[in-house]
């Protein structure tokens, strides 16, 4: 697998999101929030300011729940309504890589990014809370609109992981 991560400095960006906890075995519940998020924005006349994303706070697996947000960047901060919450993509240095192809193979790109980071001394911005590793900025940005490119083999997903500055 040819993955060429780059380090990028990024500015903070506001977003709106729906939080969810789910294991991979129930990932359909996570994916179902994307159209709901766009409908929420449209209902308020708010235009997206970037592609939809998943922000991972805690990584899970097939049975252990992920804690994440399904979100969309916006031009200015929004007020949530209980279901939708406002947030900010943190400013900082991110390790960024693009996965090409079906999302079912995204794990291979994640492993390649993790290996690249370890080989280059890059550390993630995480903290330990209640025995769990909590990410300060771990994002999958969905660059391809399935309505325009329905074949998942043509999709591109940007992984952007906030790195620790020291």
Predicted confidence at residue 1, as pLDDT, reads 61
- Using CA atoms, how far apart are residues 72 and 145, in angstroms rounded to an integer? 13
What is the domain partition of the chain in residue ranges? 6-162
The structure's pTM equals 0.96
Q: Which CATH number fits domain 6-162: 3.40.50.300, 3.20.80.10, 3.50.50.60, 3.30.420.40?
A: 3.20.80.10
Confidence of residue 143 (pLDDT cuts 50, 70, 90): very high
pLDDT tops 80 at residue 7: yes
Please compute the mean of the pLDDT values over residues 78-103 and round it to a whole number: 97
pLDDT tops 70 at residue 45: yes
Pairing of strands 132-135, 126-129: antiparallel
């Amino acid at each position: 697998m040819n993955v060429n991560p780059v380090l990028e400095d990024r500015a903070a960006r506001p977003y709106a999101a729906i939080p969810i906890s789910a294991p991979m075995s129930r990932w359909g519940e996570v994916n179902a929030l994307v159209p709901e998020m766009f409908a929420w924005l449209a209902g308020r006349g708010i235009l997206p300011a970037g592609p939809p994303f998943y922000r991972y706070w805690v990584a899970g697996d097939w049975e252990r729940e992920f804690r994440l947000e399904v979100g969309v960047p916006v031009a200015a901060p929004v007020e949530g309504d209980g279901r939708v919450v406002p947030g900010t993509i943190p400013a900082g240095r991110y390790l960024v890589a693009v996965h090409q192809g079906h999302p079912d193979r995204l794990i291979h790109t994640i492993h390649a990014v993790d290996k690249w980071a370890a080989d280059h001394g890059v550390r993630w911005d995480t903290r330990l809370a209640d025995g769990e590793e909590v990410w300060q900025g771990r994002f999958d940005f969905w660059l391809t609109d399935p309505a325009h490119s329905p074949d998942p083999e043509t999709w591109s997903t940007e992984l952007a992981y906030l790195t620790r500055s020291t």
